[in-house]
Each structure stands twice: as C-alpha cells, then as structure tokens.
Homo-oligomer: A and B are copies of this chain.
Amino acid sequence: MKAEELANILARHSLFADCDEAELADLILRGHFLQFKKGDELIMQGDPGNSLLILLSGYARTSMIASNGHEIVLDYADAGQVLGEIALLDGGERTASVTAIEPTSALSITREAFEEILAKHQNMALRLLKVMASRIRMANSMIEGDRAYTSGPRLARYLLRLSVVGAEGGRLKLDLSQSELGNFAGMSREHINRQLSTWSEDQIVAVESGKVRILDHAMLSHIAEADS
C-alpha cells in the first residue's frame, strides 16, 4: 500500500488527526503493513509484547480468557485504534488477545521504532497518554457496570456502547451473536436471549434474523441508569 494512502487513513482518525506530516511519515516509514483474514489473531494473550498495532481498517475483538476458561470480551476496536500498547510499555505479556472479526489491516510498529518516534516527537507521548486515560475510564466504567448493576441495565449499557449515533433503524456497529453479546456484557447466552425477548415485546429493541436493532434509544438509556 502506498504511503500516502496510509497517511490518509491515519489522518482520518481522531487520534492521528492532529499529527503533523513528519509524525505520520515516521509512523509509516517505520511501520509494517499487515493484513488479516476474519478470525486471525493480531495479538495473542500470553505472548511477549514487542510491538504496537494501529488498526487501519476492519474490526477486531479484544478478549481475555480467564484461567478457568471463561471468555471476556473487553472491547471491539475499529480503524484508528491503537492496540497492544500495554505490553509494549511495561515489557510484560499480552494481557488479552485481539482477533479480526472481519478482514482487517494494521500498521505494526516495533519497540525500537516506537521508542525512536516517541523520542523524536514530543506530542506522540501525550497522545498516547490520552488514549490510555480513556482506556482506564472505559475499564472503570466496566467495573462499575459489573459491580453495581444487574444484568438488565448492564446489557442496556453494552448495547448503547455498540450503537452508532445516526444509524437508520437503530442498527448496531456490529452484528454480534447472542453468545458473543453474552461474553461482552458478562451474562449467559440464554439470559441475553430472554432479556432481548422481553425488550422486544416492549418495542425497546427489535431482534430479526439474529440482528439486534435499538428501537427506543431513550428507553434503553433510561434502563441503563436504573437504580437496580
């Protein structure tokens, strides 16, 4: 892929929107362009983490397998997202896997290249710090959801997190299976099903051919804030 195309893709996403030419050029020069098929692992839990990825296109799922086999989906990443920065920074193992859920491309940057870029461009570090701040906020809000709310409000939150603002018919960013929704929201597949059925009767969501649509966004937000 041409450097200018890469530059275009990067510049289109918030994180890199305010990068200057030189920064983008360095990222592209020092990065490797990678492509993945649906199902490929971009990052594997437990591996040593010596590189950082910037997702250029497609969607990927970030998930952990707990030691008892339980799968936990932490996030769904789209283009522009930085992945794998934690292990790169602290030299530890990768805490989670990242799996392409559709054909995906990414820019891979080694630790050496990353350190050089960081040293050369002051703003890069600040940008990364902001990314990580928002990650911590997200993690805290997951903890809050898990701890303080019952399954209903919690599922509502995750559906809202998957919703796109101006989507026609309330379509979600991703069409997840009910099992996958379960791993995301932290509840069993069966329970997801029952909850969606209930909401479907109340016209809050619609479930057709396995796809969830949000019909009553306001109501769902209200449920997400419920006292229990």
Return the chain B residue nearest A183 by Cβ: B147
Return the chain B residue nearest A67 by Cβ: B225
Contacting residue for A133 out of B68, B86, B125, B226, CB 8 A:
B86
Q: Are A133 and B74 in contact (CB under 8 A)?
A: no
Contacting residue for A148 out of B68, B85, B133, B140, CB 8 A:
B68
Q: Given A90-B130, A140-B74, A146 and B148 touching (CB < 8 A)?
A: no
Contacting residue for A72 out of B118, B119, B147, CB 8 A:
B147
CA distance A156 to B171 in the complex (A): 42
> Which residues of B are found within 8 Å of A122, using beta-carbon distances?
119, 122
A-side interface mostly? helix
CA distance A95 to B92 in the complex (A): 27
CA distance A137 to B119 in the complex (A): 25
Within 8 A of B (CB), among A179-228: 186, 225-228
Q: Are A66 and B144 in contact (CB under 8 A)?
A: yes
Number of interface residues of A (CB under 8 A): 43
Q: Given A126-B118, A129-B129, A70 and B136 touching (CB < 8 A)?
A: no
Q: Are A146 and B147 in contact (CB under 8 A)?
A: yes
- Is A16 among interface residues, defined by CB-CB distance under 8 A? no
> Which residues of B are found within 8 Å of A86, using beta-carbon distances?
133, 136-137
- Is A89 among interface residues, defined by CB-CB distance under 8 A? yes
CA distance A90 to B228 in the complex (A): 30
> Which residues of B are found within 8 Å of A69, using beta-carbon distances?
227
Given contacts A125-B125, A125-B126, 11 further A-B contacts (CB under 8 A): A66-B144, A67-B148, A68-B228, A85-B133, A92-B137, A118-B126, A119-B122, A122-B122, A132-B136, A136-B136, A142-B143
